[in-house]
Amino acid sequence: MKMGLLSAASAMLLTLAAPAIAETIYVTNEKGNSISVVDGQSLAVVKTIAVGKRPRGITISPDGKWLYVCVSDDHTIKVIDVAKQQVVRTLPSGPDPEQFVLSPTGNPLYVANEDDNLVTIVDVEKGAILGKVKVGVEPEGMAVSPDGKTVVVTSETTSMVHFIDTATRSLSGNVLVDNRPRAATFTADGKQVWATAEIGSSVSVIDVATRKVIRRVTFDIPGVRRDQIQPVGVRISRDGKLAFVALGPANRVAVIDAQSFEVKSYLLVGQRVWQLAFNADETRLYTTNGVSNDISVIDVPALKVIKSVTVGQAPWGVAVRP
């Protein structure tokens, strides 16, 4: 009897000691016209928010109060009040917004307009367009430097990464990369931009100071055809040690040593993996899997997929609130 009580007490202590995941995961469902809200502790969908036609890009304000969503076929940005879990505002975006990036200060928002080959700059407080920057054909992926001084955008058809000076709201440089670049991200120190190329099956690592490609990372997965390896989303850990790349129809996430640029492993996730997002302490990475209609949960320290969570139809973008 005493042993039983001791075991029960030990189990309770272990439960109390285990870290609780209080975060919330928000997923855009491109064909479901909705946002799935996933509780980080139970890893279950707790709410579905209707937002409009074909939601894709998604981001959270620095203060965690507002969720911004590109609603591509409605040609708008929807603003969700996180506390109320409902749409409270609509912002202008330019035509067919696909992805965007928010200034580190929380304002303005830089939006890629795929149909018009523009980046539209939106004041999120006033709900007004501040300006537009002409870029290459079919702009999509966007990233902002840690200091907020530079925004980059990838143009799929032009196969370029364009650098925008946020002070002058004008182009400050262009870098040619492999075919059909889809996403980009800065390293935490702001010294590099990593850009994925879907048809080129590669990642270009760009030195920000010289605006030159210093490394081209390619992928080789045994048993998977090269044309199925289509890099899309990319995320780099804050310590600069690891990079993660979503490989589309290959149904894998590549794990890359961000210092040596060597591919360490491939993690099997859901079907047609699109985008990626870390949680706040980077112990987890969430992936959207557009064909299997789920997200995969990756334990980052263990480099292991620990859970699959069914969400809405054709999940595309993902953002995490602590």
| pLDDT tens, N- to C-terminus, the chain (322 residues) | 444 444 444 444 444 444 556 899 999 999 999 999 999 999 999 999 999 999 999 999 999 999 999 999 999 999 999 999 999 999 999 999 999 999 999 999 999 999 999 999 999 999 999 999 999 999 999 999 999 999 999 999 999 999 999 999 999 999 999 999 999 999 999 999 999 999 999 999 999 999 999 999 999 999 999 999 999 999 999 999 999 999 999 999 999 999 999 999 999 999 999 999 999 999 999 999 999 999 999 999 999 999 999 999 999 999 999 9
Burial class (CB in 10 A: 0-12, 13-18, 19+), 299: middle
Pairing between β-strand 192-197 and β-strand 202-207 as defined by DSSP bridges: antiparallel
pTM above 0.85, yes or no: yes
- 142/46 Cα distance (integer angstroms): 29
Q: Which amino acid is at 269?
A: V
Q: Which amino acid is at 31?
A: K
Residue reference for tokens 């640029």: 261
How many separate helices (H) and strands (E) can be counted in the chain?
1, 28
CA 173 to chain centre: 24
